[in-house]
Amino acid sequence: MLLKIAKTTVLLAVTAATLNAGQFNAQAEKDRIELTKYTVAKFDEPFKNKYTFFPHSGDEELQKWTKNIPASGFKNGSYAYNATGKQTRDDLMEMPPFEENMEIGEELYNKHFKTCFPDPTTAGDYPKFDEKSKSTVSLGEELLSCAKKAGLKMGKKAWDLKGKKMANLQSYIALQSQEAGKKVNVKIESAAAAAAYENGKHEFYAQRGYLELSCASCHVQGAGQRVRLEFMSPITGGMTHFPSYRISKDSLRTLETRLGGCNRNMGEKPHKAGSDWTSDILYFMAYMSNGMDLSGPDVRK
């Protein structure tokens, strides 16, 4: 016990020294590296790893999965290892079902957002921590603020974080960011930002809802497991491909919309889009994809 206390004391001292040096992302970077290693190791040899990671998957299924996937490959979500699903996705991307959405988004950007949001290649920088308000701001929240400044009508049938106009606008910004070769580049530069990150991490791993599941149940431990006809994607690379066109819903959807759907699937009431809970958990999730290429907008079933 004394040894454990001593180790904890040393760890806290080292952490404090690191933070005093201004490296407020030290813990987040450690989390990202370890989670990336876990994901890469898990899918390195799926069939050989069956009894370690995939005890409920069939042998034939595992043998068809792509092997030796580099960390960068997980920007494709479950299609990183599901070659059959990726082929279907690639075929759809020949003539993306969201082309009209991007055209509408470009018109909206040029008409209302060019002044307030002058660089449309910065999708990977969000969520950001705003030091003035001491809160995390997602890309959608930043654009919503611009919409208000432009005098656009708010509301569920007009501009909101889950609305069609927001998804269309974000699809244009995501494409511009992708074509500019941008990567996920989320920063933690203060103690308050580090606290927001830790809150998001806590909520990601916390069990919630009547099913008592956590986000990690599906996207860490459960990554690669089948839920009905779909495979669960890993958290590594999970924030690179939004907004995504959901074939099952026949619509383009923002991160806030997808997160609300996950809440319902977990058996809990969806948290309000734009709340500290939503923004902080997206902050954590985005950091886990730091350094990865942006690939949105994209298609998912």
Q: Could you tell me the two tokens for 104?
A: 């509408």
- Catalytic choice (116, 146, 218, 262): 262
pLDDT for res 158? 76
CB neighbourhood size of 148 (10 A): 13
Terminal-to-terminal C-alpha distance of the chain: 50
- Spell out the per-residue pLDDT of the chain, length 301, in tens: 333 333 333 333 344 434 444 599 999 999 999 999 999 999 999 999 999 999 989 999 999 999 999 999 999 999 999 999 999 999 999 999 999 999 999 999 999 999 999 999 999 999 999 999 999 999 999 999 999 998 888 776 778 999 999 999 999 999 999 999 999 999 999 999 999 999 999 999 999 999 999 999 999 999 999 887 789 999 999 999 999 999 988 999 999 999 999 999 999 999 999 999 999 999 999 999 999 999 999 999 8
Fold of 99-179: Cytochrome Bc1 Complex; Chain D, domain 2 (1.10.760)
| Rounded Cα distance, 35 and 221, in Å | 11
| Rounded Cα distance, 182 and 124, in Å | 7
Helix (H) or strand (E) holding 257: helix 255-265
Write the DSSP string, 146-198: HHHHTTPPBSTTSB-TTSHHHHHHHHHHHHHHHHTT-B------SHHHHHHHH
Q: What is the pTM of this model?
A: 0.91
- Is residue 286 a contact partner of residue 202, using CB atoms and an 8 Å limit? no
The answer to whether the 25-95+189-300 and 99-179 domains have the same CATH topology is yes
Amino acid at 45: E
Q: Among the CATH numbers 1.20.140.10, 1.10.760.10, 1.10.150.120, 3.10.100.10, which is that of 25-95+189-300? A: 1.10.760.10
- Structural domain boundaries in the chain: 25-95+189-300, 99-179
Q: Among this protein's residues, is 218 annotated catalytic?
A: no
